[in-house]
Chains A and B, each alone.
Chain A
C-alpha cells in the first residue's frame, strides 16, 4: 500500500512544512513566496508525468493552467458558482478538453508532438484573446464581494493558500502513484522506446492521451485558485510563456522522471528567482538565467539535481523516488 512507503511520508512532511511555516507569526511575505513555489511544484510535477515518464516535451502545459483559470473565474463571475464547484468544474472541463486534444495530437510522435504543443499554446491564446464571453483581450475582473463567503479578503487569501498547498500535495501524490502503477510503467516504457513498448502490448496512444489529460487536471485547479486570488484574468497572464518555460526548466533542474525532483527544482528555482528579482544587475535577465540554466542541465547533467544526488549517494534511490 502506498501509505506504507517511506516516500509517502516525505511528501506529507513537505506539505506540512508548507502549511505550518507561514502560519507561524502570520508571515504574509513568506506565504506569498510559497504560493509561487506551490504553483511551480504543481506545474512541474504534472509536466513531469509527460516529460519525465513518457519522454514527450509539452511546450504548452501552461494552457491547462490558463484555461482552468478562465473556466473557474468565468463560472464564478458570470454564473455566480461557489469557489469549490467552479474549481472542480474548471479542472474537469480542462481535463476533458485535453483528452479530446490529446486523442488528436498524441497520435503524433516525438518532435511532431512537441511542435503541435507550441501550436496549442499560440492557438489557444489567440482564441481566448478573441473570445467575447471571456472578455477578449481585456479579460475578466472579479468583484471583491466574491471574497465575502470565505470571510473577507484577508482570510480568503489564507484559505486560497491552504487549498493551493493541498493541490500541490495531491500533485506529488498523483505523480508518485502514477510512477508506481502499471500505467506508469507503461509510460516509462514509452519513454525508453515507444515501438518496443507498443510491441509488448502497451496501448501507447491511449496511455499518452490519458497522461496528457491527467496532467491537465490539477494545474487547471491551481490556475483557478491563482486567478481567483489575483481577482482578474487576462490572456497574457493566463498563458504566460515565461511560466510555461520555467515549468520545463524547473522539472529539468530537479531531475525529470523523479517524483521529488520537480519539487526540489521548483523550490530552488523560486529562491533563485526571488534573489534575481531583487538583484539590480539581474532583474531584467530572468529569462536569460533560466535559459543558461536549462542549457547547462541538458548538456552536462541531463539527470538534474536528483541525478547528481543519486550519483553521490546511491542509497538515496531506495527511498527517495
Chain B
C-alpha cells in the first residue's frame, strides 16, 4: 500500500514536468491556433543542450536551466519567422505540415550527430526518504523548478503589459491589431515562450531519465495527451492535467509493464478527445473566458 502511494507521489512529481512541456504546446495553440509539431524535437534539444553544457562546458546541472530557457526562446522566435509566420491564418493543414517539416530537419540533424544511442545527464541530489521508499532528489527538484517556472509564467501573462498583449492577441487578433499591438511580434514572442517551455521541460527530464535523439516522439505524445486533458489553449489546465497524467502513470506502473504505458495513454487520449473535447476541466466549471 505504501509502495503504491510512493509510486503515485513519484508519478505526480514527474507529471508536473509533463505539465510544463504541455504548457508550451497549449500556449502556442491558444495564441495562434497552431499545433507546434517541433515540440518533441525541442524537448530533445533541451536534453542535449543540458548534456553538452554539463559534459563539455562543465556547467553545473541546474545552472543550465536559464541558458536552456534563453536559448529555447531565441530558437523559438527564429522558428516562428522561418516556418510559422507565412502560414498564420491558413488552414491547419499548412501549419501542421510546416512545423512537421522543421521537426524532420531537427531530428535528421540530431541523428546524424548523435546517432540513436542512449545518453544521460549526471545529476545527483540527496533524496527524501519515506519509510522504505526514497524519492530521488532530482524528481523533487524538477517538480519544484516546474512550480517556479509556472508561477513566473502566470506572473508574466497576468501582471505585465507584454503578457496582457499576449492575452489580447490570443483573445482577438484583429482587435488587438486595431488598438496598436504589433501582433506579428507578439506571436513570435509567444512561439518563443512555448518552445522555451518545451526545451526546459526536456532539460528537466534529462536529469531524471536517460534519453535518445528519438525520445521526442514519446514525450510529444504525452504532451498532446496532457494538452487535450487540460483543454487546448489553457496553461493552468495543462499543468493540472500533467500532474493527473503522472498520477495515472504512477498508479499503473506497479501493475502493468512499462512498455504498455504509451498504449494506455493513447486510449485515454482518444477517449477524452471524443467525450470531452474541451478538456477535463470543463466538467468542473460552467463557462469562464480563457
User: Within the complex, what minimum Cβ distance (angstroms) separates A35 from chain B?
Assistant: 24
> Does B277 sit within 8 A of A, measured CB to CB?
yes
> Does B263 sit within 8 A of A, measured CB to CB?
yes
Q: How far is B217's CA from A241's CA once the two chains are assembled, in angstroms?
A: 10
Which of chain A's residues have a CB closer than 8 A to the CB of B221? 118-119, 122
How many A-B pairs have beta carbons closer than 8 Å: the answer is 121
A108 adjacent to B277 (CB under 8 Å):
yes
B91 adjacent to A285 (CB under 8 Å):
no
> Does B267 sit within 8 A of A, measured CB to CB?
yes
> Does A55 sit within 8 A of B, measured CB to CB?
yes
Q: In chain B, what residue has the closest Cβ to A284? A: B112
Q: How far is B87's CA from A295's CA once the two chains are assembled, in angstroms?
A: 11
- Option from B87, B220, B263 in Cβ contact (under 8 Å) with A298: B87
> Chain B CB within 10 Å — which of A122, A130, A290 has the most?
A122
B274 adjacent to A291 (CB under 8 Å):
no
B270 adjacent to A104 (CB under 8 Å):
yes
User: Given A57-B93, A292-B101, A292-B105, does the pair A112, B273 have CB atoms closer than 8 Å?
Assistant: yes
Which of chain A's residues have a CB closer than 8 A to the CB of B108? 285-291
B93 adjacent to A55 (CB under 8 Å):
yes
Which of chain B's residues have a CB closer than 8 A to the CB of A241? 217
User: Within the complex, what minimum Cβ distance (angstroms) separates B31 from chain A?
Assistant: 14
A123 adjacent to B273 (CB under 8 Å):
no
User: Within the complex, what minimum Cβ distance (angstroms) separates A237 from chain B?
Assistant: 15
B101 adjacent to A295 (CB under 8 Å):
yes
- Option from B92, B257, B266 in Cβ contact (under 8 Å) with A111: B92
B35 adjacent to A123 (CB under 8 Å):
no
User: Given A105-B270, A115-B224, A115-B228, does the pair A295, B35 have CB atoms closer than 8 Å?
Assistant: no
Which of chain A's residues have a CB closer than 8 A to the CB of B262? 122-123, 126
B111 adjacent to A123 (CB under 8 Å):
no
Interface hits, B193-224 → A, CB 8 Å = 217-218, 220-221, 224
Which of chain A's residues have a CB closer than 8 A to the CB of B217? 122, 241
Q: How far is B96's CA from A51's CA once the two chains are assembled, in angstroms?
A: 12
A295 adjacent to B259 (CB under 8 Å):
no
Which of chain B's residues have a CB closer than 8 A to the CB of A120? 266
Which of chain B's residues have a CB closer than 8 A to the CB of A310? none
> Does B164 sit within 8 A of A, measured CB to CB?
no
Chain B residues touching A, range: 35 or more
Q: How far is B267's CA from A116's CA once the two chains are assembled, in angstroms?
A: 10
> Does B102 sit within 8 A of A, measured CB to CB?
yes
Q: How far is B200's CA from A261's CA once the two chains are assembled, in angstroms?
A: 41
> Does B183 sit within 8 A of A, measured CB to CB?
no
Q: How far is B105's CA from A122's CA once the two chains are assembled, in angstroms?
A: 20
Q: How far is B260's CA from A126's CA once the two chains are assembled, in angstroms?
A: 7
User: Within the complex, what minimum Cβ distance (angstroms) separates A303 from chain B?
Assistant: 12
User: Given A286-B108, A288-B112, A295-B83, does the pair A245, B96 have CB atoms closer than 8 Å?
Assistant: no
Q: In chain B, what residue has the closest Cβ to A120? A: B266
Q: How far is B109's CA from A202's CA once the two chains are assembled, in angstroms?
A: 44
> Does A110 sit within 8 A of B, measured CB to CB?
yes
User: Within the complex, what minimum Cβ distance (angstroms) separates B105 from chain A?
Assistant: 4
- Option from A114, A119, A248, A299 in Cβ contact (under 8 Å) with B92: A114
User: Within the complex, what minimum Cβ distance (angstroms) separates B36 from chain A?
Assistant: 11
> Does B107 sit within 8 A of A, measured CB to CB?
yes
A123 adjacent to B263 (CB under 8 Å):
yes
Q: How far is B217's CA from A123's CA once the two chains are assembled, in angstroms?
A: 11
A248 adjacent to B97 (CB under 8 Å):
yes
Which of chain A's residues have a CB closer than 8 A to the CB of B105? 287-288, 291-292, 295
The 8 closest A-B pairs by CB, nearest first: A287-B108, A291-B104, A123-B266, A291-B105, A288-B108, A295-B101, A294-B101, A126-B262
A-B contacts, 12 listed (Cβ < 8 Å): A112-B228, A114-B96, A115-B228, A119-B269, A127-B263, A130-B259, A252-B97, A285-B112, A286-B108, A294-B97, A294-B101, A295-B105
Q: Which residues of B contact A (CB under 8 A)?
A: 29, 35, 83, 86-87, 91-94, 96-98, 100-109, 111-112, 217-218, 220-221, 224-225, 228, 257, 259-260, 262-263, 266-267, 269-270, 273-274, 277
Sample of 6 more A-B contacts, CB < 8 Å, known A123-B262, A289-B108, A294-B97: A105-B274, A107-B274, A116-B269, A129-B259, A245-B100, A284-B112
